[in-house]
Amino acid sequence: MHWIAVAVGGAFGAVARYGISTWIFDSTSHKFPYATLSVNVLGSFAMGILFVLILEKGLLPPEWRGVLMIGFLGAFTTFSTFSLDALGLWQNGHLFLALVYALGTVVLCLAAITVAVWLTRLLLI
């Protein structure tokens, strides 16, 4: 049953990533991978909230970890696309943008998950 929960969550996460990425890609410049950056930061923020709700506080059943954290967010965020976007910037002669993107992604995702954990803990006190 755990495999099915992860698969269902993953299917919804992939569709959500596609929808958000398409919307952001269509409304921004195509010179910088805003769509991938956005889903990774949003996914990191959501992971922080779910970490507190499921693992720390037990406010959601532990079975939801497979659906939401592993399945949905695992498919929603995408390190492989991030890597491909950074490589594309680099190979197209945009070394500075590639470095800004790589460093910015890591810093923003760490900040997002940190703020989400802090806010969720604060709101549950």
pLDDT per residue as tens digits for the range 9-34 = 999 999 999 999 999 988 887 789 99
- Cβ contacts of residue 105 below 8 Å, gap of 6+? 36, 37, 40, 41, 82
pTM here is 0.85
Of 82, 80, 81, 71, give the one whose Cα is nearest residue 11.
71
4: confidence class by pLDDT, cuts 50, 70, 90: very high
Of 125, 102, 109, give the one whose Cα is nearest residue 73.
109
Q: How far apart are CA 58 and CA 36, in angstroms?
A: 31
Instruction: Tokens for 114, please give them.
Output: 């940190």
